[in-house]
Amino acid sequence: MEHTRNTVLAAADSLVDAFSRHDRERYFAAFSKDATFIFHNLDRPLRNRAAYEVEWALWERDGFKVLSCNSSDRNIQVLGSVAIFTHSVETKAEFGGKTITSQERETIVFERQEDGTWLAVHEHLSRAS
C-alpha cells in the first residue's frame, strides 16, 4: 500500500510541477483524455481534456502564465485502482501583465492505468476560505 501511495504522490508531484512551470504539454499529459474539470472561476464544467486545453489557450491569449505553484496539506486515499489526492495550493500567475496570488483547495482523482501509471481523471478546484 505504501508503494502505491508513493507512486500516486509522484504522479501528483509531476502534475503540480508541470503546472508550476507552465509546461503545458507535460501538464496535460498527466490527465486522461476523458478527464473532467470543475473550476470555481468557470461557469461550467469542462467535460474532457480537450475542452480544458481550449480554455487554457484562451487564457493564454489574455496573458495567462503560471509563475509558481506550491502544494501543502496533502493527503492521498487509495481505493483499489482509484486514488484521491487533496491539497491546498498557492499559485502565482500572470494575467494581462498583473501578478495574482490565489489560495485554493484542490481534489484530483487518479486512476491506475493498465501499464501501472496513474493518470488524473478529475480535478476540482475551489477557493480556500
> With pLDDT > 70 as the criterion, what percentage of the chain qualifies?
100
Report pLDDT for 71.
98
pTM of the shown model: 0.96
pLDDT of residue 129: 76
Kindly report the CATH number assigned to the domain that includes residue 22: 3.10.450.50
pLDDT per residue as tens digits for the range 2-25: 889 999 999 999 999 999 999 999
Q: Is the pLDDT of residue 1 over 90?
A: no
Count of structural domains, the chain: 1
At 76-103, the pLDDT tens digits run 999 999 999 999 999 999 999 999 999 9
Domain encompassing residue 83: 2-127
Distance in angstroms (rounded) separating the CA atoms of residues 120 and 111: 6
Query: Which DSSP string do the residues of 31-93 spell out, in sequence order?
Result: EEEEEEEEETTSSS-B-SHHHHHHHHHHHHHTT-EEEEEEEEEEEEEEETTEEEEEEEEEEEE
pLDDT the model gives residue 14: 98
Compute the average pLDDT of residues 33-52.
98
